[in-house]
């Protein structure tokens, strides 16, 4: 009788709904949004000198979500402004704002 009440080893024991189709779709959309924002950040720094671009690219790569990417904006602004001036830097970040918001 006890064996009927106990869950079998194949029954998942994690929180309910973690692997539901809706949750998986939401995670996929969030991942796609993060990756498209990451690509925008890479485009914004594409013409910076290699050493600066490499350092920023690593930081962009290691950002794990949209929020951590968004927190890199001041770093991008500073790096772009040093190379091309503040006006160009602000224009590029405005493009990020419009596309990534």
Would residue 60 count as lying in a domain?
yes
Would residue 8 count as lying in a domain?
no
Would residue 96 count as lying in a domain?
yes
What are the φ and ψ backbone dihedral angles of 99, each rounded to 5 degrees?
-85, -30
Per-residue model confidence as pLDDT tens for the chain (101 residues)? 555 555 555 555 555 555 665 555 555 555 578 999 999 999 999 999 999 999 999 999 999 999 999 999 999 999 999 999 999 999 999 988 886 65
Total tally of structural domains belonging to the chain: 1
Would residue 17 count as lying in a domain?
no
DSSP state of 72: T
Which range of residues forms the domain containing residue 55? 29-100
Would residue 10 count as lying in a domain?
no
Q: How far apart are CA 80 and CA 84, in angstroms?
A: 6
């Amino acid at each position: 009788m006890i064996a009927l009440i106990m869950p079998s080893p194949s029954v998942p024991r994690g929180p309910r709904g973690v692997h539901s189709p809706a949750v998986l779709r939401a995670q996929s959309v969030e991942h796609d949004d993060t990756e498209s924002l990451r690509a925008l950040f890479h485009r914004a720094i594409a013409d910076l000198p290699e050493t600066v671009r490499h350092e920023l690219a690593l930081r962009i790569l290691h950002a794990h979500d949209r929020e951590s990417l968004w927190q890199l904006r001041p770093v991008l602004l500073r790096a772009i402004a040093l190379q091309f001036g503040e006006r160009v830097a602000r224009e590029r970040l405005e493009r990020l704002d419009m596309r990534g918001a």
